A and B are shown apart, each in its own frame.
Chain A
């Protein structure tokens, strides 16, 4: 079992049960953990069973863990046992160290990221296409966005859409910011797209699935072709993907909205490759890895570590210059959070140029990606390319 040392756990354990033998699995759990599965009213502090998921959560002391692991190793209904995790997200999504500011590319006109995805030589602009960025909101007073059509909505109780964090304004800038701001370089991929800024993370950078799903619903209802989500939670390898996000993503795609999400920043390459986080690990959500200016995989970029969460494409995600909240106005950040809006912006350009939506848009984005001499487990089909 793969288990990163830094993961916080709750003292409870997640138990994956064989799909067609849930009752048998619960009975075996009861025999080990000392409860009667037929008592009809199990204390949820002791055990919770999610039969649709084939997952049980049990409280157990370390002695029991040994027995549970033993059961998982034997043939039988108990398949996987993992410590339940406390969620902390994308911890390396941080400002770049000063030395990284010296990029190996000429950024006098456009950022290296825009050049890497070929946005500089594309005739597409994103005009007429709606993109939703679900994040920490938007800096409403940013001069680079004066005159742009921007629809905003906050899904955070007690906070308006104004971005008190900066992360959301940065992601909006990369996906749909200007090419010719007052001070160079230009940094927006789909610079004429119609922006929908949904605030699903608070000014402190936190949020929950309820707000994120409400933001997705808002974007779908408004006919956004693309949703960019630079958010998520890191998970241990083998964690089942969320069935609910998977259904949501399938339904969104059927209505013409493609969801693109950050893979996560949990790797410490080359020593450790962390699995793709939640919700990017859902099969119907595009999972984006991060590369640097030399087209090497970023050391933090989560990767394909098991059969569940797979990297689909890669985007520029190191030393990324974009808009930020005031008074800073601009920032250079790194993270798969920064790679994701590059991919989302490219998807918008493809949507404009080809009219493709949903799964056809996914296919065009993936198939037109520039193949890289890197493992597909790290970069999927490669570096996204503007049409």
Chain B
């Protein structure tokens, strides 16, 4: 059975970086970028692990990334 993974963005409380990164990784997040100025981490996670990410101390929200597309000229 294939595992469903998704690209997500995670917002964390002010000052919780970089401490929260270890907990996020333990919860299953493969970290892509750490956006320190924004307090946001992006990465990839198994869809079923998203609730676990949400329960990590310091995490405010987890959302799946959207894709945007401009039309061709």
Q: Among the listed B35, B63, B67, B71, which residue makes an inter-chain contact with A53, where contact means beta carbons less than 8 Å apart?
A: B63
Please, which residues of chain B bring their CB within 8 A of the CB of A278? Answer: 66
Q: A52-B61, A210-B65, A242-B63 are in contact. Are A167 and B70 (CB under 8 A)?
A: yes
Q: A48-B47, A210-B42, A247-B11 known; A136 and B37 CB under 8 Å?
A: no
- Residues of chain A in range 198-235 having any CB-CB distance to chain B below 8 Å: 201, 204-210, 212-214, 216-217, 220-221, 231-233
Give Cα distance in the complex from A48 to B52, angstroms: 12
B24 contacts the other chain (Cβ, under 8 Å)?
no
Contacting pair B67 A244 (CB below 8 A): no
Q: Is the CB of B37 within 8 A of A206?
A: no
Within the complex, what minimum Cβ distance (angstroms) separates A265 from chain B? 9
A-B contact number at CB 8 A: 130
A349 to chain B, nearest CB (A): 25
User: How long is the Cα–Cα vector from A288 to B6 in the complex, in angstroms?
Assistant: 31
Beyond A213-B40, A231-B70, 16 additional contacts (C-beta under 8 Å) are A44-B47, A50-B54, A88-B69, A89-B68, A94-B73, A205-B69, A208-B7, A209-B9, A209-B42, A217-B33, A217-B40, A220-B37, A231-B68, A251-B14, A255-B37, A337-B70
Q: Which residue of B lies closest to A91 (CB)?
A: B71
Complex CA–CA separation, A105 to B73 (angstroms): 25
Q: Nearest CB to that of A201 among chain B residues? A: B70
Do the beta carbons of A48 and B61 come within 8 Å of each other? no
B2-34 CB contacts (< 8 Å) to partner A = 4, 7, 9-11, 14, 32-33
Q: Is A252 an interface residue (CB 8 A)?
A: yes
Residues of A participating in the B interface, judged by any CB pair closer than 8 Å? 41, 44-45, 48-53, 87-95, 136, 165-167, 201, 204-210, 212-214, 216-217, 220-221, 231-233, 242-244, 247-248, 251-252, 255, 278, 331, 337
A252 to B50, CA, bound (A): 26
Given the complex, which residues of A lie within 8 Å of B72, measured CB to CB?
Answer: 204-205
Residues of B within 8 A of A167 (CB): 70
State whether A87 touches B37 (Cβ < 8 A): no
Closest Cβ–Cβ distance, residue A46 to chain B (whole Å): 11
Enumerate 30 A-B pairs (CB-CB under 8 Å) in ascending A order.
Answer: A48-B50, A49-B51, A50-B54, A52-B60, A52-B61, A88-B69, A89-B68, A89-B70, A91-B71, A93-B70, A95-B73, A208-B7, A208-B65, A210-B33, A212-B68, A213-B40, A216-B35, A220-B37, A231-B68, A233-B66, A243-B11, A244-B40, A244-B61, A244-B63, A247-B60, A248-B11, A251-B37, A251-B38, A251-B39, A255-B37
* B61 CB contacts on chain A under 8 angstroms: 52-53, 243-244, 247
Bound-complex Cα distance A214 to B35 (A) = 6
Which residues of chain B have a CB within 8 Å of any CB of chain A? 4, 7, 9-11, 14, 32-33, 35-40, 42, 47-48, 50-51, 54, 60-63, 65-73
Given contacts A93-B70, A95-B73, A217-B38, contact A209 B47 (CB under 8 A): no
Complex CA–CA separation, A252 to B9 (angstroms): 16
Of the candidates A44, A205, A213, which one forms a contact with B48 in the assembled complex, judged by CB atoms under 8 Å apart? A44
Cα A128 to Cα B39 in complex, Å, equals 27
User: Are A52 and B62 in contact (CB-based, < 8 A)?
Assistant: yes
Known interface pairs A213-B40, A213-B42, A217-B37; A206-B71 also in contact (CB < 8 Å): no
Contact pick for B42, options A87, A94, A214, A337, CB 8 Å: A214
Within 8 Å CB of B66, what residues of A?
87, 208-209, 233, 278
Q: Are A87 and B67 in contact (CB under 8 A)?
A: yes
Nearest-neighbour CB distance to chain B for A166, whole angstroms, equals 7
B37 touches A221 (CB 8 A): yes
User: Do B50 and A50 touch (CB < 8 A)?
Assistant: yes
Question: Beyond A44-B47, A217-B35, A248-B11, is A232–B68 a contact (Cβ under 8 Å)?
Answer: yes
CA distance A204 to B68 in the complex (A): 11
Q: Is the CB of A208 within 8 A of B33?
A: no
Closest B residue to A278 using CB positions: B66
Q: How far is the CB of B64 from chain A (nearest CB, A)?
A: 8
